[in-house]
């Protein structure tokens, strides 16, 4: 950061990164994944996944591993990380951390990376499939 730049708060940063994302609603993400047009990536931490369940077919990647696992050129990439044109939909619990994560993936050249508006909670509220919920 140059000396003359003022610090950016998290709300402003979130607004800035979301300007570049084509964020999508839960039902659109569900339909895209079912059609093979998007890879859903769940970055919620284990306790939330254990409590609330999983989205069937979503790739689970802890947030701190996301860039390593989704970089198509990376030595630790997941088999699903097939190329820079892959449409990745990042899902966190409520749709905040996922915006920042999707922006990070875009910096790696995954130009179609985006996130789910409202996160997992919006998915569940829409009545979309969830497996393994604790209670």
Helix (H, G, I), strand (E, B) or coil at 74: coil
Residue 5 is predicted with a pLDDT of 82
CB 28 within 8 A of CB 77: no
Asked if pLDDT for residue 1 goes beyond 60, the answer is: no
Per DSSP, what are the bridge partners of residue 39?
88
CB 59 within 8 A of CB 41: yes
HEC string of 89-126 equals EEECCCCCHHHHHHHHHHHCCCCCCEEECCHHHHHHHC
pTM of the model: 0.93
What is the share, in percent, of the chain residues with pLDDT greater than 70?
Answer: 96
Mean pLDDT, residues 62-87 taken together: 96
CA–CA dist 6, 115 (Å, integer) = 27
Going by pLDDT thresholds of 50, 70 and 90, the confidence category of residue 133 is confident
């Amino acid at each position: 950061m140059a000396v003359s730049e003022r610090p950016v708060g998290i709300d402003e940063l979130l607004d800035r990164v979301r300007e570049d994302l084509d964020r999508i609603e839960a039902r659109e993400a569900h339909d895209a994944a079912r059609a093979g047009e998007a890879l859903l990536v769940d970055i919620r931490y284990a306790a939330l996944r254990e409590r609330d369940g999983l989205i069937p077919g979503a790739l689970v990647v802890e947030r701190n591993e996301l860039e390593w696992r989704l970089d198509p050129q990376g030595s630790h990439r997941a088999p699903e990380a097939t190329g820079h044109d892959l449409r990745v939909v990042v899902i966190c619990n409520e749709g905040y951390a996922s915006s920042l994560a999707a922006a990070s993936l875009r910096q790696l050249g995954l130009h179609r990376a985006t996130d789910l508006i409202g996160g997992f909670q919006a998915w569940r509220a829409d009545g979309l499939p969830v497996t393994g919920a604790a209670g």
